[in-house]
Structure 1
Amino acid sequence: MPVGYFVTGTDTGVGKTLTSCALLHAFAMAGKSAIGMKPIAAGCENGKWIDVERLVEASNVPAARELINPYALVQSIAPHIAARQTGIVINIATVQRAFKALQEMAEVVIVEGAGGFLVPLDDRYDSSDLARTLGLPVVLVVGLRLGCLNHALLTARAIHVSGLSLAGWVANQIDPHMESQAENIHTLQHRLNCPLLGVLPFSEKIAAREYASLLDITHL
């Protein structure tokens, strides 16, 4: 059976795309066909949705763009606000159909969420409802910076309350000057009831292919 994972983060800008791409490369290195999906992308730069472009580049299976990214919103703001301002209604069922189509094409589908785990999608639903509809185990990206312990533990609690499995977490060193990084990682290893898949070092550029070797997908 094809498998997939929903990648969420402790906040926006913590490295969900980097981690998703690194996971895609890691599964490809393990001999799997893997494709990335960004159901809702908010933020267009020079006519391109950068997160989507990176996922496409990291995938080893081609697919139609409307399947990879059903909702492309121009403004880099919360999805429900960007959608409302442009008259778009985000339909989770539409995302689910696209996801099922991608599952027919690849052994692994990596679905990158938008923002944090509870970011609203409309007046009723949020990202957790999307993850629950897809029924995927979750990979949590923790952006290592001051405050990450609280954000990580709150997100993990929300994932468990939603009834989903927390398959693993990734520590991403987004703040090279953060004090006591090792101690923070150690704390989360003891408090998050899932394996640490890897620690991604700080870099000025995206190096997803190189980071793939730093992830231990044997736990997934």
Structure 2
Amino acid sequence: MNKTREILFIAGTDTEVGKTFITQALINALLHCEEQVVGLKPVASGAELEAGEWRNEDGLKIHELSKKSPGFEQISYSDINPLCFEPAIAPHIAAQEAGVELSIAELNRLLKFPDSEHLLVEGAGGWLTPLNDTETYADWVEQKRMDVILVIGMKLGCLNHAMLTVRDIERRGLKLRGWVANFVFGDMNRSEQNLDWLKKNISAPCLGVVSKQEGADYEKASELLDLKALL
């Protein structure tokens, strides 16, 4: 029998900060702890037509790993990524161009949460990415009362981006379970001082620090993650 289901939302301080990579690393780490885990990417833009449906590169990565979880070997791509659009642009614009409604109601209608011990739901872009003219991804996370893991893209300006995101998460009454410092852009000037400041100013635990070199291998990155806050 499955344990009580836990749903964690993987947010980013910006687009292209490595949310998918960290989601892969988290799934891999949980699988190695013999935990049942499925990753979801509800909305994705930037896709190619494959087997008669639009499929996104990041969605495919999460799909392949999720199929390694016991009981989910046959999970379909559309179960992982039900809203997928061809152009690599902001999802709400891609949806408009495709004539598709992108909204909280549509997310709730199309996305079925699998009955897994752990569900990792990867967002799109940054924390406040729009779904439409009035709703954001964060509004949906708030409605679902998901706990959050924040991926911080370590670069100049990341302290501001991180704290703006953290404060909005807290303002909504959501729990930040932890954060990952991802050096996806390479070395950062005064990296240790920046990391030290984040650790002092974010009350949630740092789950790991991933260098650009380690960012080439999610299995190696998964070994750097501290899962005590998640297990």
The answer, yes or no, to whether TM exceeds 0.5 is yes
Quick check: 1:199 aligned with 2:209?
Answer: yes
How far has the Cα of 1:4 moved from its partner? 1.7
Q: Distance in 1 between matches of 2:49 and 2:210?
A: 28
How far has the Cα of 1:175 moved from its partner? 2.6
1:87 is matched with which residue? 99
Quick check: 1:213 aligned with 2:223?
Answer: yes
Q: Distance in 1 between matches of 2:15 and 2:42?
A: 15
1:4 is matched with which residue? 7
1:41-60 map, 5 Å: 41-45=44-48, 48-59=55-66, 60=69
How far has the Cα of 1:17 moved from its partner? 0.3
Query: Identity across aligned pairs (percent)?
Result: 38
Match of 1:218, SS state, is coil
Structure 1 residues 159, 202: CA separation in 2 closer, same or farther (over 3 Å shift)? same
1:136 is matched with which residue? 146
1:1-220 map, 5 Å: 1-45=4-48, 48-59=55-66, 60=69, 61-62=72-73, 63-96=75-108, 99-102=111-114, 104=115, 106-203=116-213, 206-220=216-230
Match of 1:11, SS state, is coil
User: What residue identity is the alignment partner of 1:22?
Assistant: A
How far has the Cα of 1:116 moved from its partner? 0.5
Q: Distance in 2 between matches of 1:161 and 1:169?
A: 17
Structure 1 residues 22, 139: CA separation in 2 closer, same or farther (over 3 Å shift)? same
Q: Distance in 2 between matches of 1:52 and 1:114?
A: 11
Structure 1 residues 182, 159: CA separation in 2 closer, same or farther (over 3 Å shift)? same
Q: Distance in 1 between matches of 2:84 and 2:121?
A: 15
The TM-score normalised by the length of structure 2 is 0.89
Number of aligned residue pairs: 218
Q: Distance in 2 between matches of 1:170 and 1:147?
A: 16
Contact 2:21 2:215 in 1 (8 A): no
How far has the Cα of 1:45 moved from its partner? 4.8
Match of 2:228, SS state, is helix
The TM-score normalised by the length of structure 1 is 0.93
CA RMSD of aligned residues (A): 1.7
Structure 1 residues 163, 56: CA separation in 2 closer, same or farther (over 3 Å shift)? same
How far has the Cα of 1:121 moved from its partner? 0.5
Q: Which runs of 5+ in 2 are unaligned?
A: none
How far has the Cα of 1:101 moved from its partner? 3.5
Match of 1:168, SS state, is strand
Contact 1:41 1:71 in 2 (8 A): yes
Structure 1 residues 178, 205: CA separation in 2 closer, same or farther (over 3 Å shift)? closer
Q: Distance in 2 between matches of 1:74 and 1:202?
A: 28
How far has the Cα of 1:76 moved from its partner? 1.1
